Structure 1
């Protein structure tokens, strides 16, 4: 299953994504964690020191190699440079298996049983000449070509705010956890996401965060209704991790919230036909709006209408 954590800046999505990743690995489940936030903090949230986290090779820095590998012998793609972030797989493409023996997963760092991939930070060299979506494009290509099986999980900590919708990346997930504080800004981001996702059959559920009591829960129920799946309260264990202290057990109520989240993910039905259809739709949209002009080619010809993901 492919899972995204989204929400406004400061909502706690990185903290909750790290808790969920730890919850999965504690159960012995195979997990790939992807830090796709413009502020790269997932590694530290998972327990790496900042120096070790900063040494992980960024996917965004290896985009030409990633494209070359995924292209494989798919001759509908004239060259790796003609691949854009939305290019879907076709006959001859190399498909990925979770934590497989390939150059993309080889970029990852093992963190307590999870493989951590990072897009790379937005740095000084990017200012004025680049956009962060070019780096998250590596994640979109990765997810486009990944065949995840039952009991396998990819957990992506997305960039804050509505930037998630700047490409087709938001359609690459089986479920999106929207982390919302019980505030007007928190539910405002929820409404924005629901509006953007309404036409694309994207599953979004709300995880309340920084809950201090029944009034906070009632507030979220009033404003997000049945989309509220569960909530996480103030946590001494989370504060300990944030302070660099280990060994503080997560509260039982917060542990139960993680169980609810896992159950919601596992309840999703895998629909590979829809997954490929959405990839093609966004690729055609991107080709017509900018990519054909940018590459000097008709990238609509990259679509292999007969391609099917393996069962």
Structure 2
């Protein structure tokens, strides 16, 4: 399953993503698990317990490798340079699993406190005024387009805050999107904006309330979010310690908050994969990008990269 964490800046989405990842990693047996930090503020490694200054390779710095590997011998993609963030897989493309050995993972994935993690890379000073952060996130979109996850496999992505993910088709790449929502008007506003954008694409959004102090907080969210409210996390000494840089064992998390993580996994595990729709949406956004800018940049019609009637899925790579 592919899972996104989104929400207003400061809502606690990175913290909840890290708790969910650590919860999954502590299960017995531990599932296949991959974390991707696609937030412009790269804090997921620290939230997982990485020491300050831990060097992590970035997906953005290895984009050429990622394109070359995923392209494989797909005859519709003439070169790795021709690949853009929305290029969909086709016959001859290399597909990846959540947990496997391949050159991309060797270069970009590192284990942080038992969780396999890759990061897009921060928005550097050299990018100011000349680059868009979505050029870095494009590596994540390419990977997810070519990822064929099966039962018991989880790819968890910490997304950039607010509605920035709608700048590409990345928001359609997930089986479940957890929208982390505080009991505030601004946080609920981001929820409504996200829902408005996602409604026409069949995006499955589940709201996880965060920083719930009392029954009034909970009533506020229930009134404004309704049935989209899956579960909630209360004020937590465990979480406050994490935010101070002290990552405690996940088994020390308050029982009610641990139950919230179990409810989240239960929802994810109950989702049926729809590979034909997944490919249709990849193709739709690729054609939009080809018409808007990508074909002009490449000097040829990148709509030709679409392989008609091709549908990826775990069966294709055994």
Q: Which band: TM-score by shorter chain?
A: over 0.9
**Alignment-derived partner of residue 274 in structure 1:** 277
Structure 1: gaps (5+ residues) = none
The answer to whether residue 99 in structure 2 is matched with residue 96 in structure 1 is no
Secondary structure at the aligned position of 1:161 is classed as coil
Question: Which aligned runs of 4 or more in structure 1 are off by greater than 6 angstroms?
Answer: none
CA distance in 2, matches of 1:130, 1:273: 34
The answer to whether residue 262 in structure 2 is matched with residue 288 in structure 1 is no
- RMSD between aligned alpha carbons? 1.0
**Alignment-derived partner of residue 302 in structure 2:** 299
**Alignment-derived partner of residue 14 in structure 2:** 14
**Alignment-derived partner of residue 41 in structure 1:** 43
The CA deviation at 1:244 is 3.0
The answer to whether residue 201 in structure 2 is matched with residue 187 in structure 1 is no
The CA deviation at 1:99 is 2.0
CA distance in 2, matches of 1:223, 1:244: 33
**Alignment-derived partner of residue 260 in structure 2:** 257
**Alignment-derived partner of residue 154 in structure 1:** 155
The CA deviation at 1:214 is 0.7
The answer to whether residue 61 in structure 2 is matched with residue 61 in structure 1 is yes
- CA separation of 1:246/1:162 partners in 2, compared to 1, >3 Å: closer, same or farther? closer
The CA deviation at 1:246 is 4.2
CA distance in 2, matches of 1:246, 1:259: 20
CA distance in 2, matches of 1:274, 1:245: 42
Secondary structure at the aligned position of 1:223 is classed as helix
**Alignment-derived partner of residue 132 in structure 1:** 133
Secondary structure at the aligned position of 1:173 is classed as coil
Q: Deviations over 1:210-237 (max 9, x none)?
A: 0001111110111111000000011111
Q: Deviations over 1:137-192 (max 9, x none)?
A: 00000000011110000000000011011100000000000001000001000000
Task: Give yes or no for contact 1:7–1:13 (8 Å, CA) kept in 2.
Answer: yes
The CA deviation at 1:45 is 0.1
Structure 2: gaps (5+ residues) = none
The CA deviation at 1:296 is 1.2
Q: Give the one of 25, 29, 32 matched to 1:30.
A: 32
Q: How many residues align?
A: 309
Task: Give yes or no for contact 2:47–2:245 (8 Å, CA) kept in 1.
Answer: no
**Alignment-derived partner of residue 215 in structure 1:** 216
**Alignment-derived partner of residue 226 in structure 1:** 227
Q: Provide the TM-score with structure 2 as the length reference.
A: 0.95
Q: Deviations over 1:265-304 (max 9, x none)?
A: 1111111111001100110111111111121110000000
CA distance in 2, matches of 1:225, 1:246: 33
Secondary structure at the aligned position of 2:103 is classed as coil
Secondary structure at the aligned position of 1:97 is classed as coil
Task: Give yes or no for contact 2:14–2:158 (8 Å, CA) kept in 1.
Answer: yes
Task: Give yes or no for contact 2:37–2:118 (8 Å, CA) kept in 1.
Answer: yes
The CA deviation at 1:96 is 0.4
CA distance in 2, matches of 1:163, 1:220: 23
